[in-house]
Amino acid sequence: MTPSTENTHTTGTAAARQLPYAGLRVVEFTHMVMGPTCGMVLADLGAEVIKVEPLKGDNTRRLLGSGAGFFPLFNRNKKSLALDLQSPEGKEAVLRLIATADVVSENFKTETMQKLGLDHESLKKLNPRLIYVSHKGFLPGPYDHRTALDEVVQMMGGLAYMTGRPGDPLRAGTSVNDIMGGMFGAIGVMAALAQREKTGLGQKVESALFENNVFLVAQHMMQFAVTGQPAAPMPERISSWGIYDVFEVKDGEQIFLAVVSDTQWDIFCKAFGYEDLKSDPRLPSNNHRVRERGWLIPELRQRLASRSARELGALFEKEGLPFAPITRPHDLLDDPHLKATGGLAPITLPDGENAGQSAPTVLFPFTMDGERPGVRLSPPKLGEHNAELLRELGYAPDAIAAMGKH
């Protein structure tokens, strides 16, 4: 299949224009975050993404705590096909489906896909135009036998070292490698689709957590390669800017404030009436202020401590200076900018005690012709699209009913 130019979709509450990958069919065998992210990217951009699940469902549907948001976020705009791939009937059905697909996406162990006959070598014989994207912990090499998690590669890939204080490595507060690894998998698919237009053939794309993490810390690796000086963890780094820090202010509130150029320094000193700092011979330029941070930052902490975060934010905003309130993720659900710009859209939750209820989801952080790719389908219920998809593949109603049973 090639992307169609005829389909129309609905995004949010408004009719959407044609999406780039409308008409593209993706079959995914994925769970957790990395693989589903790749499918979500392609689905948000218009592809028909079919999530093949076991009859008991993707285990991610049942996660609690910090995993409770995984399934509803990363599986929007997808269809669910529940099959027993260990049975001859389930295996035949999924092979029929893959014969109609442009892309297969997976993030299971290589041996698992080989045992099922769903590895790249097997499937390219069935469909030479197929693009097969595999999401792994490591690209092929000495580490590829290891079991990887986001936290594992953050620790071994330098990111936890950079985030934490010296001697206290700390993982980033979100699934950065899983999410970006899935995004790079999607970028690889896009490149392979462009290549297929020239060759008529598909290919295998591989994306990996460890290599993604190394790419994230590459700027610090390059710093050492260029200067011979190792990068210090972020809490101990030598800042490039004179003022670039979190300040504790009135009533114990916190706010991030930055003054990153000589022009901004002039504005800052004038706005706050700090003529003594403006004329201080030790502080004529940003580089001078970086060298004097040892006394300058404590001095500013003392001067700003009696002001509220709201007052400081208003003044910095008025003067065009960089600032940020310290915000918790759940506070962003009521963020006025996100709400005004369409950054949030409603979905219907498919599972758990809140099944059937509406919840806001976060859309892609870019626009196309002024519009964000939106939600066409809420995250699917388990097997929600079995009848539709199996009927299209030529199965009779009784066969469809039999395949949906445990």
Verify whether residue 251 is a known catalytic residue: no
Domain 9-217+339-403 fold is Rossmann fold (3.40.50)
Q: pLDDT (tens digit, 9 = 90+) per residue, 354-366?
A: 999 999 999 999 9
Q: pLDDT (tens digit, 9 = 90+) per residue, 72-84?
A: 999 999 999 999 9
Q: How many residues does the chain have?
A: 406
Mean pLDDT, all residues of the chain: 93
Q: Per the confidence metrics, is the pTM higher than 0.85?
A: yes
CA-to-CA distance for 362 and 315, rounded, in angstroms? Answer: 30
What beta strand segments (E) does 194-301 contain?
204-208, 243-248, 254-259
Q: pLDDT (tens digit, 9 = 90+) per residue, 78-136?
A: 999 999 999 999 999 999 999 999 999 999 999 999 999 999 999 999 999 999 999 99
Helix axes of 209-216 and 218-227: crossing angle, nearest 10 degrees: 50
Q: pLDDT (tens digit, 9 = 90+) per residue, 17-32?
A: 789 999 999 999 999 9
Task: Say yes or no to pLDDT of 15 above 60.
Answer: no
CA-to-CA distance for 272 and 255, rounded, in angstroms? Answer: 16
Please tell me the least confidently modeled range out of 152-166, 233-247, 379-393: 233-247
**Tokens 């810390």 — which residue?**
217
- The answer to whether residues 288 and 230 touch, using CB atoms and an 8 Å cutoff, is no
> What are the backbone angles phi and psi of residue 255, rounded to the nearest 5°?
-150, 140
Q: Where are the domains of the chain?
A: 9-217+339-403, 239-329
Task: Say yes or no to pLDDT of 3 above 90.
Answer: no
* Strand ranges of the sheet holding 204-208, from the earlier edge strand across to the other edge: 78-82, 48-53, 25-29, 103-106, 131-136, 204-208
Task: Say yes or no to pLDDT of 340 above 90.
Answer: yes
Say which residues have a Cβ less than 8 Å from residue 342's Cβ, sequence separation at least 6. 12, 363, 371, 372, 374
Count of Cβ atoms closer than 10 Å to residue 138 Cβ: 18
Q: Which of 178, 262, 351, 369 is catalytic?
A: 178
Task: Say yes or no to pLDDT of 258 above 90.
Answer: yes
pLDDT at 240: 84
What beta strand segments (E) does 184-310 contain?
204-208, 243-248, 254-259
Q: 181 burial class (0-12, 13-18, 19+ CB within 10 angstroms)?
A: buried
Task: Say yes or no to pLDDT of 254 above 50.
Answer: yes
pLDDT at 406: 57
pLDDT at 1: 41
Q: pLDDT (tens digit, 9 = 90+) per residue, 228-246?
A: 999 999 888 778 899 999 9
- Once rounded to an integer, what is the mean pLDDT over residues 333-359? 95
CA-to-CA distance for 70 and 60, rounded, in angstroms? Answer: 7
Say which residues have a Cβ less than 8 Å from residue 161's Cβ, sequence separation at least 6. 169, 233
Instruction: State in Å, rounded, how far the first CA of the chain is from the last one.
Output: 32
CA-to-CA distance for 359 and 70, rounded, in angstroms? Answer: 13
Distances 53 to 50, 90, 110, 329, 380 between C-alpha atoms, Å: 9, 11, 17, 30, 11
Q: pLDDT (tens digit, 9 = 90+) per residue, 372-382?
A: 999 999 999 99
- Once rounded to an integer, what is the mean pLDDT over residues 325-337? 96
> What are the backbone angles phi and psi of residue 97, rounded to the nearest 5°?
-65, -45
Task: Say yes or no to pLDDT of 7 above 70.
Answer: no
Domain 239-329 fold is formyl-coa transferase, domain 3 (3.30.1540)
Q: 298 burial class (0-12, 13-18, 19+ CB within 10 angstroms)?
A: exposed
